[in-house]
Structure 1
């Protein structure tokens, strides 16, 4: 058994936390970008595009994130595309995040009165003008709180990247446990760090909800 002081354990966990944060940010930015494109496709009203978005959402919401990581990491390698654990984790988390965000945003847009689209057409506004000046400013207010709240799920989802070999907080916690044989201490610290990462976002989401009067 290797001797690790409490300070050594905390230092290693905090170093790994940086990778968890970086992976979460990369996945959230990527997922937001994909979700924006999918939302735009859905708003066009084209039946073929709506079907593509619907199938995409069903696939990535209806399958476990862990399976998606396995497919990205091992499946692409079988097809001849070598991919690192970092890239596979970002790719799978991006798909996962975008599938949920596009549904969150769809629900937020659907809460807006349908008459606003008709009124915009009567005023001679085009589709893009209506989106830019009327729909998006209102939808953003409604969607901000649940979007921030969902970022908590992205952070917790990064823990699954340890299964494909990416060294982040959970992976380092497992390695330290194997070295120290002190699972309660190590994983309690891991849980505390995850809580410190996630709780501020959950709290801020509630603050935004009250600020934008979404609950009313």
Structure 2
């Protein structure tokens, strides 16, 4: 593998990280809205949020990317691969993070919510000052675990022509006919990103277990 091919792989890594960041950050905003809707007590909001979660958790991510890229094009809205995969991963992340955070919100002791109500705190203050700080702490291990899965899932973006790390590796291996070397390096790069995150998630989970004793 020559220098230009290695730099091409790093370019693919850059887009993998960028796609993961956009999917996670924007998906976090959507996920928070979904989690709040699921725990709002308003039946209509809860049903809409539950339907959204069921749709995106019950269908393959690959199919979701196909629908966004090709489905919208058939409807007359032609988007480039970068925008399409960003939308697809954002919608996917919003559903999973929304369910993770819904569980974390419901895991906050009811007594604390009742105490906040007794102090005449409105819904916004209850969430901001009492519920969400604890829910975020509870959800951190699962949230980091999802981020690891999201980073690995970006490899599916190659199916619609987006050149992230996996597709870059495939292109390079087709050029130099050294698939074991190139794809082995791709695996090392994925591992170098995901393994430290997995360690952080495991450490946070152990700390929470100790604190709960």
- The secondary structure found in structure 2 opposite 1:22 is helix
Shift of 1:210: 3.3
Structure 1: give runs of 5+ residues left out of the alignment. none
The offset of 1:56, in angstroms, is 0.2
For 1:126, the equivalent position in structure 2 comes to 122
Equivalent residue number for residue 167 of structure 1? 163
1:100 to 88, 96, 100: 96
Match of 2:150 among 119, 130, 154: 154
With structure 1 as the length reference, what TM-score do the two structures score? 0.92
2:16 is aligned, of 1, 14, 20, to 20
Q: TM-score, normalised by structure 2?
A: 0.93
Deviation at 1:212, TM superposition (A): 4.2
> Secondary structure of 1:81's partner?
coil
Structure 2 distance, partners of 1:16, 1:135, is 39
The reply to whether residue 78 of structure 1 matches residue 66 of structure 2 is no
CA RMSD of aligned residues (A): 1.6
2:164 is aligned with 1:193: no
8 Å CA contact 2:33–2:98 kept in 1: the answer is no
CA distance in 2, matches of 1:107, 1:139: 8
In 1, distance between residues paired with 2:26 and 2:40?
22
